[in-house]
Amino acid sequence: MRWVIRRAVGLGVLALLLAVGVAMAAAPAGPRLAVVKLTAKPYRIELLTVGPSGGHPLRLATRDTNPRMLMVFSALSWGPDGEQGVFTGVVGQRNEDDHELLLRLFTIHADGSGLRVIPGTRGANEPVFSPDGRTIAFTRIVDREVPTTVGGKRREEFHGASIWIVDLLTGAQRQLTPWRDGLYYGASSFSPDGSTLLATHEDNSLLYESEPVALEVDGSGSRRIFEDGSSPVYSPDGSEIAFARYIEEYGSEPATSTDLYVINADGTDLRRLTRTRGLYELGPSWDPSGERLAYVRFSFSGAEARASKGGGGIMQINADGTCQTPMMLPAGLSAPVWQPGSGREAGRIEC
């Protein structure tokens, strides 16, 4: 998939203002997902957790009149027990022609309390909690048309992304993938034992499409999971990987789309889960049971989405490809991420 598509909508990226002083409540028991909700009249964007059908919402962040505001710029990534999440906050904008947003990482509790900035995470996006909750992997993006310094070298312009890991206790950071103009790495999922980090790799100098790769967290190497795809995520037991693939269809009625696939963690037994001509399905998230996935479906054409079977919105499907169904009826929801933790398993979809 093209990097521009992944950056713009792969995780249901939306700009929203975060109010620190929202009302808090205990997170309800049972299966939950973090989602982003957009309403047009009045214009409002919220970060919520909801039940599997969109009910019993708990507001984590929203636009408010509180003088201390941030902008949320990423979907939520849950900690291992589901009691804490991490996201990217926009704290300002560079005063240059490129209008680059200034990003930081923030953690927040599942009830919406305890907002905290992670020091030293300027430019961080797409955070991923490690299985032990001690570190966070993130993608640092540089996308500038003006002279800048990247990796200690002065460049006339630079377009690339590198993966870093930050220790939450000490604040220490280390770079996992290199800087190079036209080279992009985007973090997406840790293996259950924390030794491997799944990522999307794209190298413009090689004219490759995005491909899912597995990076050794100790820096010892990497391997390609499949020849093309993006946003790979491990199943809860680490035996399988779900990801999205960009599809181009030719002929009298050409079309592009993305569909969901599952593959064994060792790269064998590829299975196609969805076939949605002209629509884009991205951001797969495993239910804690490992039996179903949630994801977002959309179209760059609103009319096309409405005319297509199933339309857009948040969808769900069993891990074996059965029972593909709309998941949430409320309009304007995106970026679904299942909340982990004991008792939060939704299990197999019955259809």
Q: Say what the pLDDT of residue 251 is.
A: 65
pLDDT in tens, 236-268: 999 999 999 987 777 666 667 789 999 999 999
Query: Is it the case that residue 184 has pLDDT exceeding 90?
Result: yes
What whole-number distance in Å separates Cα of residue 203 and Cα of residue 223?
Answer: 15
How far is it, in rounded angstroms, from Cα 89 to Cα 86?
10
Average pLDDT over every residue of 321-345: 87
Dmax (CA) for the chain in angstroms is 58
Strands 158-167 vs 135-144: parallel, antiparallel or unpaired: antiparallel
Q: What per-residue confidence (pLDDT) applies to 253?
A: 64
Domain locations in the chain as residue ranges: 3-338
- DSSP state, 28? P
pLDDT value of position 9: 40
- Report CA 307 to chain centroid distance, whole Å: 27
* pLDDT for res 308: 40
Output phi, psi for 204, to 5 deg: -65, -25
pLDDT confidence tier of residue 15, bands split at 50, 70 and 90? very low
Structure tokens at 5: 């598509």
**Residue that wins the pLDDT comparison between 92 and 349:** 349
Q: What are phi and psi of 205, to 5 degrees?
A: -70, -20
Half-sphere exposure of 244 (CA within 13 A, CB side): 30
- What's the chain's average pLDDT? 82
Superfamily of domain 3-338: TolB, C-terminal domain (2.120.10.30)
The predicted pLDDT at position 46 comes to 77
Rg (CA), the chain: 19
Q: Which of 64-73, 138-147, 332-341 has the lowest mean pLDDT?
A: 64-73
Residue 79 has pLDDT above 50, yes or no: yes
Give 227's contacts (C-beta < 8 A, 6+ positions apart).
Answer: 211
Q: Which residue matches tokens 């200034």? A: 102
Q: Please determine, for residue 7, whether its predicted confidence score (pLDDT) is greater than 50.
A: no
Supply the pLDDT for residue 72. Answer: 60
Q: Which two tokens stand for residue 312?
A: 């857009």
Which range (130-144, 162-176, 295-309) has the least confidence? 295-309
* Residue at token pair 């941030």: 70
Q: Decide if 122 contacts 91 (C-beta within 8 A).
A: no
240-249 and 271-272 beta bridge pairing:
unpaired
